[in-house]
Structure 1
Amino acid sequence: MNDTYDVAVIGGGLLGCATAYYLARAGAGVLLLEKNQIGRHASGQNAGSLHFQLEYRMIEQGRKAAREAARALPLHLDAITAWRDLPQEIGEDCGVVQNGGIMLAETPHQIGLLTEKAELERSLGLDVTLLEGPALREHAPYLSTKVTAAAYMPHEGKANPRLVTPALARAAAARGAEIRVRSPLTELIRGAGRWRLGCADGFRARAQTVVIAAGVWTDQVAGMADVRLPVTPVALQMLATARTAPFLPHLVQHVGRRLSLKQTAEGNVLIGGGWPSAFVIREGRTDVDSPPGLRHSSITGNLDAASVIPGIRPLPVLRAWSGMTTLTPDQLPLIGEVPRRPGLYAATGGSAFTLGPTYARLLSETILTGTASLPLGPYSPARFGFLNAA
């Protein structure tokens, strides 16, 4: 064995780097292992939305599914403050802007969904206001006349995904965390009251506690500890337009269609919202080590959904790219200690970019003190404990 640590964090995305930061800030001896480069995967490939309202994917399956997804809203409320304070806390700007967000409706049915969603969110403490008529036009003059209502949330916004994760890694390292890149984990075994870790580059270590923050590789890492976690990789794609003058101050979503829009500080419009890309399949299995391929139908469908903002139509699309994220069967996050595996924690699922700083802080509190400042019971891996017999 080369080294011994209090906590080993597996995964160098936003969630892993933020967890390493909070733990190191509290004085823990932290090792962070990343198989590639910091922020190379989902954390650097998403569009950087900070969406605290319930997303389209959370409500498209009906009231029951929406109410289940709403169990994570306490985390959303916490994340509003977490993102507001993050730049000052780590001393880097990271492109965090919280100018507000709106979710659109075009038809009477969609207005009904929007109203019901807003009532649910307000009952759980989210500041959401319904806008119609002149109030909507005054607030968002860039919208098509087809849009008849919108739910406005003042704290939504964006961050620059290419800046946030490296900044958190630097903040963690400045507080003593050891960060190893290009060091894929190959062994995770419990013995003599500690976890033994082995990497493909020959590095070996021991740790009292291990945090799996490995995104789409969560199930693979958990499998090394003989644990099954029901996390599903999801392949998505996004678009970026040419630069134009500032005209879109808000994060824009849609209650009845897959759509997420925002304008960067440089003037490009980023267009997404959950449109699928195509996984690479090898020997009948999903290959999460290969970038998903683009789908032409997703590009055209995404641009059609974006037509609710006429100013986007003349803008040429400069780039389309794909990325991956993870979801759990109930769409709730997976945060906490794994049953029957002392000192093994996992964090993934849900809106892991938007909620990443909150996940990381709450998980760090749990590891350091045995409890978190918000209840994590609804998101515990224990709810899937029936999948593990040993």
Structure 2
Amino acid sequence: MIEGLEIPKAHDSIEGVAGPSASDYITGHDEIAAFLAQAYREGRMHHALLFEGPQGIGKATLAFHLAGHMLAHPDPARAPEKIIIPDFSKPLWRQIAGGMHPAILHINRPFDQKTAKFKTGIPVEEIRRVTHFLTRTASDNAWRIVIVDPADDMNRNAANALLKTLEEPPARALFILVSHSSGRLLPTIRSRCQSMQFKPLDEIALRDAVTRIGSSIGLDADTITPSLLERSEGSVRNALLLSAYGGIEISDTVDAILGGPVFDLAKAQTLAGAVSGREAEVQYGLFRDYLMGRVAAQALGLAQSGQLRDAEAWSRLWGDLVRETSEAETYNLDRRQAVLILLQKTYRAFQSGAPSLA
């Protein structure tokens, strides 16, 4: 963490781990970083960039590195050939880390003071801040940079509001949309962005990143096993959550329930209780993401083997799970009961082999 500086919390923050705006470390994306640095130097930077790829691999971190690089070198022709590494001893980078730089607007899920929780998405009110931000007079003709993180969290009204701005962007404005699941974005938004495809980290890069970042939350080398790296699927975030928050135990239990000859209600109730407490937000997120990941993997595998009808059925199930979890979170429904329903529904699909029969 950065001494003497309070870093804003986000809905997906991991306690003890520096967020994207406050991280000076990134690995595995040298080609994308080099492309962006060259595009900026040559004055051909697209006004809207879409950073696509799994969560937890460095997309948002690179977005802030690029923003700081541009603000530190407002004249593209004089910018370095490589994106500079943040130096949090300098005022520019401390402002960025603390969410206080006037030329950067970071849009993410807002914190609801009434419920004392982060909202489940990005509402249109947040996107309206973009219009106000861009209409302010920039000092010294400086860049103004909007980072939407993640853009997948925008509701329909928010997405439409952003689209209007993307269609008529002001001069010296850059939009960076971070996307973990680009299929949830409006096609019209995608069409107005230049896509950057971020790949999951390979094993060497992942091990190095987890070793370095994990030290801040007490992970040691013995914790970073080949099994952990394999389950993490190239995501530093996944590795940290799996190792520090019981994610391996949660995924093992889900696998045991889905693969059992009968639905193990006792085991399901124990799991539901473990991920449903007031202090179990991270564990609930791990459960939700892993369960839906199992369903998504089924859909992808079937699609790749040409079984498109079955793949569509599993995709519909995935959409149902997304909707049901969103409704449970939005309306503050009984989380324990919601977890049991999700498990039962998914179990029936795996047992029958076809969600349409579940």
TM-score by length of 2: 0.24
Flag the structure with higher helix content: 2
Greater relative contact order (Cα < 8 A, sep 6+): 1
